[in-house]
Amino acid sequence: MAMTTLGILGSGFGSNMQAILDAIDAGALDARIGIVLSDHPDAHILERAELKGIRAEVINCSGHLMKFPEAAQEETARKLTEAGVDLVCLAGFMRIVKRPLLDAFPSRILNIHPSLLPAFPGLEAWRQALEAGVSESGVTVHLVDAGMDTGPILGQERVAVLPDDTPETLHFRLQAAEHRLYPEVIARYAATLTP
C-alpha cells in the first residue's frame, strides 16, 4: 500500500499525536496526518496540528459534554473522507464512537487505552489499576467497535505497577509506553490494509 493517510481524533493535549508525528519524522511510520479533529475548541492537539501545518478543525457536538451525536459523527466521517483518510486514530478522544462513523471506516479506527484490556476499560484506567491493587498494568491498541474499549486487540505493552506509585506516576509511565506502542501498531496494521 502507498503512504497511509491518518486522521486523528483527540480531546486533549495531543501527546500521542506527537508520538505519531515523531515516528513519521524518524521514518518508522510511512504515513502522513491528513486532518486532526477535536471535540474541544481549546484542545492543545489542535494547536499542535496547526503548528505542523496540518488541517485542524473542531467537531460540533451541539453542547453535549459526553455524547457523540449522530450528526456530529456524520460530519466527522465527511471531513475524514474529504481529507483522504485511510486509517482513523483516536488519541485521547473521550467520546464513544458509534454508527455512522464506524460504518464509514469499518475496521479502520484504532484506539490506544492505558490498561491491559479487557482489564480496566473506561476512564482513568491507571487509577482503577491502583485501586485494584494489581502488580502489573500496561497499554493496549485495539480496533474500535460499538462498545467501550471492547474491540479486537492489535498490540499490548506491559508496565509494572510499583509499590510507591501514585495515579500520576503510573499514568506518566503508561503514557511513555503508549508513545512507543501506538506508532508501531499503526505501522503494522496499515501495512495490512488494501487501498
pLDDT in tens, the chain (195 residues): 579 999 999 999 999 999 999 999 999 999 999 999 999 999 999 999 999 999 999 999 988 888 899 999 999 999 999 999 999 999 999 999 999 999 999 999 999 999 999 999 999 999 999 999 999 999 999 999 999 999 999 999 999 999 999 999 999 999 999 999 999 999 999 999 977
Neighbour-count burial of 131, counting CB atoms closer than 10 A to its CB (0-12 exposed, 13-18 middle, 19+ buried): exposed
Give the fold, CATH level 3, of 4-190. Rossmann fold (3.40.50)
Q: 180, 177, 187, 189: which is closest to 143 by C-alpha?
A: 189
In this prediction, residue 194 carries a pLDDT of 79
In this prediction, residue 1 carries a pLDDT of 53
In this prediction, residue 2 carries a pLDDT of 77
How many whole angstroms separate alpha carbon 183 and alpha carbon 186? 5
- Number of Cα atoms under 13 Å in the Cβ half of residue 169: 8
Q: 85, 93, 118: which is closest to 182 by C-alpha?
A: 93
* 118 Cβ neighbours under 8 A, 6+ residues apart: 149, 150
Q: Give yes or no for a contact between 76 and 37, defined as CB atoms under 8 angstroms apart.
A: yes
In this prediction, residue 65 carries a pLDDT of 83
Q: Give yes or no for a contact between 6 and 38, defined as CB atoms under 8 angstroms apart.
A: no
Residue 107: all three cell numbers together = 475496521
Which residues are marked as active site?
A: 113
How many whole angstroms separate alpha carbon 186 and alpha carbon 40? 25
